[in-house]
Amino acid sequence: MPHALDTHRATWRSPAKVNLCLRVVGRRADGYHLLDSIFVPLDLHDDVAIAVAGARPGRATSVRVEADDPEVPCDESNLAARAARDLLAACGLGADVHVRLTKRIPAGAGLGGGSGNAATVLAGLRELLGLDVTPAELAAVGLRLGADVPFFLQGRAARVRGIGEDVCPLADWPDLALVVAIPPVHVSTAWVFRAFREAVALDARPVEAPEPAALAAGAAPTPELLVNDLERVVLPAFPMVRALKERLRAAGATAAVMSGSGSAVVGVAPNPAAAAEIAATLGREDPALRVHAVTAPVG
């Protein structure tokens, strides 16, 4: 059993994200979709506590994950567990790792909770153990876990392209008052991209997407620019998500768009006070909704 002095522990915040724009611009020969998207981190976050003990070369790794949300798997399928194993293996180390997740970001909402947790574990282990891993090497480990993980490793508003490997932080991105509304439905990312592939013919050569380019250049987030191509398959299959977009606009949001593969919908508010009022209105209308008035970006 490792001595207590060999144990390193700390807790970090793991933010959610929204996609203010998501265009599917092509598909690689291996089937992976090519995206062009604007990601922004939110001040809605999970807490990730990591304890690591007995790290040394040549030993086996044991990872234990705990979460306060029963919907979050705590077995080897959890991205945080995979992140710990993959990074230690890449560094030729083994250790006993305990990850405790205090969840506020719901699963299956398109807010990147699992990917953010994985990125936090990668960065946290590097810090706790003083690992000699470059940002590019850490991002490569992260990309093998999921397309959103490299974004969370740098944690700033960014234009993200390709399969998630091309992350370009956006300088001087303005603070936005947002309302994130999460309906009581789970949308499978795998199903969304499978349905999109069946519905839309895509070329291997990426097309140009004007909306992310305009937002990255500083254009205001208008309804014309807040476009998510995945709505094409999600909204007909999940009328609650379609209705939530309309309700956000009716309550005062200047624009609304589904985040990622859903089910969360994000609305842009004129200011933080308006965001709080829109959130309160939706919450009164439908107590089953989870609604957050948030600021983006955070970091």
> What residues are annotated to the active site?
17, 148
- The span from the CA of 265 to the CA of 258, in Å, is 4
Grouping H, G, I as helix, E, B as strand and the rest as coil, residue 226 is coil
* DSSP-assigned beta bridge partners for residue 167: 160
Q: Which residues contact 284 (CB under 8 A, 6 or more apart)?
A: none
Q: How far apart are CA 280 and CA 270, in angstroms?
A: 15
Other C-beta atoms lying within 10 Å of the C-beta of residue 175: 12
With vertex at residue 60, the alpha carbon angle to CA 59 and CA 64, rounded to the nearest 5 degrees, is: 135
The DSSP call for residue 228 is B
Give the tokens for residue 198: 């069946």
